[in-house]
Amino acid sequence: MYKLIAKLYFAVKGWKIQGSIPPEIKKCVLIAAPHTSNWDFLYGSFAWTLFGLKVKYLIKKEWFRFPFTGLMKSLGGIPVDRSKHTNLVDAMVTMVNSKEEIIVLMTPEATRKKVDKWKTGFYHLAMKAHVPIVLGKINYGKKLAIIGHSFIPSGNIEKDFEIIREFYKDAVGRVPENFSVEVIKP
C-alpha cells in the first residue's frame, strides 16, 4: 500500500528516482542529504520504497509516539534518545555485523537546521563494520531522488569527504539556505 501511495505521490508531484545500490552490495551505510525540512522524511521514505530498499534508520524517539509509532517501525525506524550519550556507533556496528543484508540510512547533518559541519558517525560505522558508503540525495530543484556513488572508506577521512562533497555539489534542499557543500567536512 505504501509503495502505491509513494508511486502516486511522485507521479502527481513530477518526481523521479535515478540510480540504484549495486546488487553485489549486501550491507552498506546509505547517507541521505540534504536534510533541511521535515518533508525530507516523506520524500526520502517514498524514494527508498520506490527503489525497493528496506532500510534501517535512526530517528529521535519522539517520533515513536501515537499516531506515528507503527509507521516508523514499519519503515525501519530505530528510536534514539538524544538526551543520553551512548556509544551508538558501536551498537550499530554490532547490528550491521549480525545481519546478512542491511542498509543503514543516516543523515549526517543530524538536524534540519544549517550546520557548521557533518557528523561523522556514518563514516565510523562504515569503517568499523567494513561496509561501503552509498551516497543518496534528494534534489528538490530537479525533483529527483538519486542513489549514486558508492565507495569503501579509505580511512583518510579528508580524502573521502572530498568524494562526498563532489557528489552533493548540486544538491538542493527544500530549504536551500540550510544546505551548503562547504559544511561537508569531518
Of the candidate ranges 39-43, 71-75, 129-133, the one whose mean pLDDT is the lowest: 71-75
DSSP state letter for 86: -
The whole-angstrom separation of Cα 186 and Cα 183 is 9
pLDDT tens across 85-102, in order? 667 888 889 999 999 999
**What are the start-end ranges of the H helices in the chain?**
2-13, 39-50, 69-74, 88-97, 121-129, 157-167
Of the candidate ranges 25-29, 70-74, 136-140, the one whose mean pLDDT is the lowest: 70-74
Listed by start position, the domains of the chain span 2-183
Query: What local confidence, expressed as pLDDT, does residue 72 receive?
Result: 75
